[in-house]
Amino acid sequence: MKWPHCFFGILILGIGLLLSFNEESPAKVQKLDNPGKYIHVQLDLLINELKDFRNDLSDSVLCSAHYFNARKYYKHIEFFVEHVSPVQAKYQINGALVPKFSEYVPGSIVNPCGFQRVEEILFSGDEIDSTVLENELLDLISVFQELKNAYQTISLSDHLYLEMLQLQLVRIAAMNLNGYDATFTKTNLEEVNENLESMLQMIGYFRLKFGTKGILKKRFRDIRVDIQEAQKFLRENPGFDGFNRLEFIRTDIKRINLDLVLLHRDLGLPWSDHKQALRLNTEHLFSKGSFNPQFFSIYYSDESDLVKQAALGKLLFYDPILSANNERACSSCHQPDKAFTDGLKTSLAFNKSGNVERNAPTLIDALYQKAFFYDGKAYQLEQQVRDVVHNEHEMGGKLSDAVLKLRGSEEYKKLFREAFARKKDADISEYAIQKAIAEYEKTLISMNSRFDRYLTGEKGTLNQREINGYNLFAGKALCGSCHFFPLFNGTVPPYFMDSEYEILGTPGTKENKSLDKDNALK
């Protein structure tokens, strides 16, 4: 059954009524003695709402109301589901509205589904196919029921809940404020209010469990006040397009994060020691010091002398010894005075025979990528190094040949022994070359711009036009829904486990509307 989208305008006008900033949450828990109970209550409400949604498919107004209510319930448990069930969250519940390559079945593509697909069906302006919509709802009901069953026996430490709340702050700043999962309805600010309401519920749990003696009384009061101030800012500044995201991030988000860090410390709770991109025990979530460079390495736990490896890598980066003809170095196409590019549309090919098919991108902040090249074929910096050296049009060489040449240098042998002491790579291996250059590339970090300094609270670093520019970028223009704050490179926060790719259909020239062919795609 299909019905026309004749009520589209009415539905959008009604969003303000459906998602008003209400002091009452969907299922307010007055005394939360167990986070699991709160999660289960919200899941029950969510599942029942989706079932009612399915039963009212013939009524467009009711469909809209059910959709927004279901989203509100989900936003109360988003911090938990995204952390405990990241695969389901990404592929089945609230992933981006683009096809994805499956991480688990090579060569297979996962089509968009979940809440964002439902939003597209309801609010894109196209005719609504109720059969397709019903199938999406059935899938959502199924996955939430599975999660509810799985969560029956789950038990998590208190420090994990606090870290989840910090990660939710990153999600709010980098995604929820920027239209990532509500690109048609733009109800993100109202949903952020629900995120904050769930934080209040969780803080209530910690207050009930640990009491309010001594410094804890101040900690719980501060965090409650700061969350409520953030909610007040949202209420007093409605409107997705004109919302001052930067002000909200550098004041409200920053304060709440610091509150959580201090509470974590004063409760005497440990910090997670598992591999993750962000160091959560820091005052600033969006600074250079909050990122862990080794998270983006092949080997997370590396006791080698990384400083000496980086110094060695710098020498190799500028040495043409890696190329087949000993004339081209990495720096030939990645020049420091040009932001580690060469300023050309596409670089000169090896042996100066024409040009390569692709542009030489900057290496600044390249370490924060989880995929490299236009097609994402490499997953680590080390792999990227190998592909460039072996490319017949770029360096035309082989790492095995480079090893032999380097072993002929007493100076290089000494440097490799020092950088890879007590490791098999001290004798100069292919991997040691890749690793050294990768460690050098990891030192090419920016995050010291006026924008970055503004985020840490430094005054006068941005003027009003620049602030307005970011708010346009992250708001009305929806650029920030793919170029995620604060790195802007497509690596998905807050876990930074994958870099998203989307083919936009770039024309070959501004005059010719035919697609630009990527002849380097294999």
- What tens-digit pLDDT sequence spans the chain (522 residues)? 444 443 333 344 344 434 445 544 444 445 677 899 999 999 999 999 999 999 999 999 999 999 999 999 999 999 999 999 999 999 999 988 888 777 677 778 888 899 999 999 999 999 999 999 999 999 999 999 999 999 998 889 999 999 999 999 999 999 999 999 999 999 999 999 999 999 999 999 999 999 999 999 999 999 999 999 999 999 999 999 999 999 999 999 999 999 999 999 999 999 998 889 999 999 888 988 899 888 888 765 566 789 999 999 999 999 999 999 999 999 999 999 999 999 999 999 988 888 998 899 999 999 999 888 887 888 889 999 999 999 999 999 999 999 999 999 999 999 999 999 888 888 999 999 999 999 999 999 998 899 999 998 888 899 999 999 999 999 999 999 889 999 998 899 999 988 887 767 777 777 767 776 766 665
Residues in CB range of 517: below 8 A, 6 or more apart = 508
State pTM to two decimals.
0.88
Identify the CA nearest to 22 among candidates 223, 242, 193. Answer: 193
SS3 75: helix
Residue 360 one-letter amino acid: A
Residue ranges per structural domain of the chain: 1-155, 157-281+448-522, 295-441
Cα–Cα separations (whole angstroms), residue 104 to 67, 107, 140, 212, 231: 30, 9, 21, 47, 40
User: How far apart, in whole angstroms, are the C-alpha atoms of residue 121 and residue 2?
Assistant: 11
Q: Which fold has domain 295-441?
A: Cytochrome Bc1 Complex; Chain D, domain 2 (1.10.760)
Let me know: does 319 contact 326? Beta carbons within 8 Å: no
Residues 399, 389 contacting (CB under 8 angstroms): yes
**Confidence at residue 351, expressed as pLDDT on a 0 to 100 scale:** 80
